[in-house]
Amino acid sequence: MISMYLELLRLNYKDKLDKAAQEFIGFAKNGAERSEKLIHDLLEYAKVSTMDKSLEKTSLEAVLKGALSNLELLVLESGADITHDRLPDLTADTTQMVQLFQNLLSNAIKYRREGQLKIIISAKEENNRWLFSIKDNGIGIDAQHKEQIFDIFRRLHSKTEYSGTGIGLSICKKIVERHHGKIWMESQPGQGAVFYFTLPK
């Protein structure tokens, strides 16, 4: 509603507003859009624990397909080259698995560098769990931040550099922990990042 009325102001009063006023409307519109995204992401974060959906047999192949189809435009625009191991079937919350893969993949795309973006998704069977990893060749981060980035609202970039709310990885952490798994990352600046997570068989 705020965005809509600001847009009406901009369109209907175009001739009466000077350049500065039009610029202020632009800032206000950006603010309204960011608030909307923040509310949306916070609701998603809250939903991870309130949603009491029972776990079901889940094909992670289908989950990955779903996540990639939600990100279709981003994947196309970025020209990402994405390869993946064959993913197993597990007992899990299907919707949350889609969100987990989607958040990690959209970050791999967002924090890319110049040149061909490569994303490798691996799955390795261990004793009583599966170890998954999503590896990119993007901007990477300094190892000293590798734990804080999973905290809510924690961002290493300003909103002008990369847009975001700092909630995506905290949702991932909540989802993985709700499935009794672990999530962590390894990276060096400029060397890409690898996000690992485990899920019990």
Closest CA to 144 of 91, 101, 187, 194: 187
One character per residue 171-200, x = contact with ligand ADP (rule: CB under 6 A): ----------------------x-------
| Least CB distance to ligand ADP at residue 183 (A) | 12
Part of the chain binding ligand ADP (CB under 6 A), chosen from 15-23, 53-61, 78-86, 158-166: 158-166
Cα gap 141→196, rounded to integer Å = 15
Considering the rule CB under 6 A, would residue 120 count as an interface residue with ligand ADP?
A: no
- Enumerate residues 136-155 that contact ligand ADP by CB under 6 A: 136, 138-141, 149, 154-155
- The smaller minimum CB distance to ligand ADP, of residues 90 and 150, is found at 150
Which residues touch 130 (CB under 8 Å, ≥6 apart)? 88, 90, 123, 124, 198, 199, 201
The separation between CA 22 and the C-alpha centre of its own chain, rounded to angstroms, equals 32
**Cβ neighbours of residue 175 closer than 8 Å, sequence gap 6 or more:** 48, 93, 96, 97, 99, 100
Tell me which residue has its CB nearest to ligand ADP.
164
- Sign of the CA dihedral 76, 34, 161, 196? negative
Establish if 111 lies at the interface with ligand ADP (CB under 6 A): yes
Nearer to ligand ADP, 62 or 194 (CB): 194
One residue of 6, 48, 97, 108 binding ligand ADP per CB under 6 A = 108
Identity of the residue, 6 or 105, whose beta carbon is nearer to ligand ADP in the bound complex: 105
The three-class DSSP label of residue 117 is coil
Residues 151 and 57: their CA atoms lie apart, in Å, by: 29
* 107 part of the interface to ligand ADP, by CB under 6 A: yes
Q: Which is nearer to ligand ADP, 67 or 108 (CB)?
A: 108
Q: What is the end-to-end Cα distance of the chain in Å, rounded?
A: 46
What residues line the site for ligand ADP (CB under 6 A)?
107-108, 111, 136, 138-141, 149, 154-157, 164-170, 193
